């Protein structure tokens, strides 16, 4: 990649996550050229963009196209069949950036060859609206410049943290990867509890959705810790304290969440083999 010209990118898979990343790269001027491999074709948002081309597969890339980054955004279950055809792109100057859950660095090195430059990352679904949280880990062949480029590409859909210990991606998956589902379930539980307290179902759900999304936005905008924001809502002997005495009891929310995170992390390790 030449300084200031953007990167040559190959995007393998252009579903919700891949499409969101593509939109972010183009909006930020990160790409000099993007070739997309996806059987569904190009998203409407990039149709007609002169920087973006569509290819049917690894054997149909434009002549002379050498990507700086191959972003692997296909579903994990189809990765086995898709990946070997990209072995011809393995070289020191091309980094393979995976956003596929459960696929380890060793897996990519096995299917691509031990010379592959690999960054494994774990995003979450809010990346589809540019509010994701991604954790990434490089293999030993990733240069500082390739890590920086990968970081910028991932930041197109949200925040990014880097770790050096790949084993941490199992608890990462349990906390942030699966985490949106826990938040959605919290909304469901609050709405059902509201109904049990006498609210109409539609109003209970409206209150639960708005409260959780609003509280999340407040947390994001505030420099205060979550515990401090919680305490600010909690008046002594008030309604919030009454509820928190149940949620924060010895058999309340914390031990349940700890057990849930442990179960998800355990399953992540099992799936990775």
Q: Which of 38, 21, 242 is nearest to 129 (CA)?
A: 21
Burial 188-216 (b: 16+ CB within 10 A, else e): eebbeebbeeebeeeebbeebeeebeeee
Integer Cα distance of 144 and 141 in angstroms = 10
Q: Which of 74, 77, 91 is nearest to 38 (CA)?
A: 74
In this model, does residue 101 exceed pLDDT 60? yes
What values do phi and psi take at 158, rounded to 5? Answer: 140, -155
In this model, does residue 273 exceed pLDDT 70? no
Q: Which of 168, 189, 149 is nearest to 25 (CA)?
A: 149
Give the angle subtended at the CA of 194 by the CAs of 190 and 195, to the nearest 5°: 120
Between 75 and 187, whose confidence is greater?
187
* Predicted confidence (pLDDT) per residue in 181-226, tens digit: 999 999 999 999 999 999 999 999 999 999 999 999 999 999 999 9
In this model, does residue 75 exceed pLDDT 70? yes
In this model, does residue 2 exceed pLDDT 70? no
> Using 50, 70 and 90 to split pLDDT, how confident is the model at 4?
very low
Integer Cα distance of 27 and 204 in angstroms = 38
- For CA atoms 111, 75, 154, 267, the dihedral sign is negative
Give the angle subtended at the CA of 113 by the CAs of 110 and 116, to the nearest 5°: 110
In this model, does residue 179 exceed pLDDT 50? yes
Between 242 and 39, whose confidence is greater?
242
> Using 50, 70 and 90 to split pLDDT, how confident is the model at 76?
confident
| pLDDT value, residue 272 | 78
What predicted TM-score, i.e. pTM, was given to this entire model? 0.90
Residue ranges and CATH numbers for the domains of the chain are 7-168 (3.40.50.720), 177-272 (1.10.3730.10)
Q: How far apart, in Å, are the Cα atoms of 138 and each of 68, 82, 132?
A: 15, 21, 19
């Amino acid at each position: 990649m030449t300084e200031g010209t953007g990167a040559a990118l190959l995007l393998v898979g252009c579903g919700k996550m891949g499409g969101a990343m593509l939109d972010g790269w183009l909006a930020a001027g990160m790409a000099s050229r993007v070739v997309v491999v996806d059987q569904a074709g190009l998203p409407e948002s990039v149709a007609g963009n002169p920087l973006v081309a569509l290819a049917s597969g690894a054997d149909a890339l434009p002549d002379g196209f050498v990507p700086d980054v191959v972003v692997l955004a296909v579903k994990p279950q189809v990765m086995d069949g898709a990946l070997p055809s990209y072995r011809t792109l393995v070289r020191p100057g091309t980094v393979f950036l995976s956003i596929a859950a459960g696929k380890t660095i060793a897996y990519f090195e096995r299917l691509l060859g031990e010379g592959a430059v690999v960054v494994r990352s774990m995003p979450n679904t809010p990346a589809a609206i540019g509010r994701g949280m991604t954790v990434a880990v490089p293999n030993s062949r990733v240069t500082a410049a390739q890590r920086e480029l990968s970081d910028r590409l991932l930041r197109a859909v949200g925040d990014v943290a880097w770790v050096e210990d790949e084993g941490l991606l199992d608890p990462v998956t349990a906390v942030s990867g699966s985490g949106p589902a826990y938040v959605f379930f919290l909304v469901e539980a609050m709405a059902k509890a509201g109904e049990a307290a006498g609210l109409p179902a539609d109003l209970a759900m409206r209150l639960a959705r708005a409260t959780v999304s609003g509280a999340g936005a407040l947390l994001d905008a505030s420099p205060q810790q979550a515990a401090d924001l919680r305490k600010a809502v909690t008046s002594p002997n008030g309604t919030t304290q009454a509820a928190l005495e149940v949620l924060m009891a010895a058999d309340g929310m914390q031990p349940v969440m700890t057990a849930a995170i442990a179960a998800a992390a355990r399953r992540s390790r099992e799936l990775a083999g």
